[in-house]
A = this chain, B = another copy of it.
């Protein structure tokens, strides 16, 4: 069936009712047959968590009209696993897209990102995958300026595929009066979150903390990073892998003669 439409699985980490996933579903309907399996509640900051000590719920949803959709009690990575091995067990998706996230997942934020963990989980399954995120975390974020780039990047991946084990981390600048300048292929900037813990007391006098912090970019002089591209009003695309081996340190460690 060479002319069969590609099967596209859509998921996210903000939950199935978010504006971002609705935008992505509408766009993917232009490119293939769409199935949605997404969390039933916000899962931001879940990283690559999976649900192994609790049961997982999965219910059909009519939230996207004639697009088959399921809401899942699990994490974004759970959603991809359940979609692949249960919902779509008779036909593996040709592509997994995750997002559009309300909030940036550039540079170090990829590690904490449920959006990107879903894309990386798909890559582990051998399925090409893209995570899309907008640098605007408000629930009513304006995604309209991202549409053309999402279609361009997704069409290219459907046509060309990705190297096995690779997922794309795509980030968009927040909408401004200026249109986006274009798309840049980048490396992950070397950065971190500099935490500050906001200490408070509950009504019973017991201490608690809110995690807060500032983003610190150690790569401010580099122009090949996702952070630089975003700062210049470009869409950033970083190819990502799940082999965490630091090959640059293998030989040094071997010389330790442990």
Q: Interface residues, chain A, CB within 8 Å of chain B?
A: 42, 44-53, 55-58, 77-78, 81-82, 84-86, 108, 110-112, 117, 120, 124-125, 152-153, 156, 160, 162-163, 165-166, 169, 183, 185, 187-188, 190, 192, 195-197, 199-200, 202, 206-211, 237-250, 252-254, 256, 258
- Alpha-carbon distance A247/B252, docked complex (angstroms): 21
Q: Can you list 12 contacts pairing A with B, beta carbon distance less than 8 Å?
A: A44-B53, A45-B50, A47-B50, A55-B200, A58-B209, A78-B211, A85-B195, A85-B196, A165-B190, A188-B243, A238-B245, A239-B245
Q: Which residues of B have CB within 8 Å of A246? A: 163, 165-166, 239-241
Q: Which residues of B have CB within 8 Å of A188? A: 243-245
Q: Which residues of B have CB within 8 Å of A237? A: 253, 258
Q: Is the interface of A mostly helix, strand, loop or mixed?
A: mixed
CB-nearest residue of chain B relative to A238? B245
Q: Which residues of B have CB within 8 Å of A111? A: 48, 117, 120, 124, 242, 244
Give the residue of B45, B55, B243 whose beta carbon is less than 8 angstroms from that of A49.
B45
7 interchain residue pairs of minimum CB distance? A47-B48, A55-B208, A239-B249, A47-B47, A241-B246, A239-B246, A240-B244
Q: Are A82 and B197 in contact (CB under 8 A)?
A: yes
Q: Are A245 and B187 in contact (CB under 8 A)?
A: yes
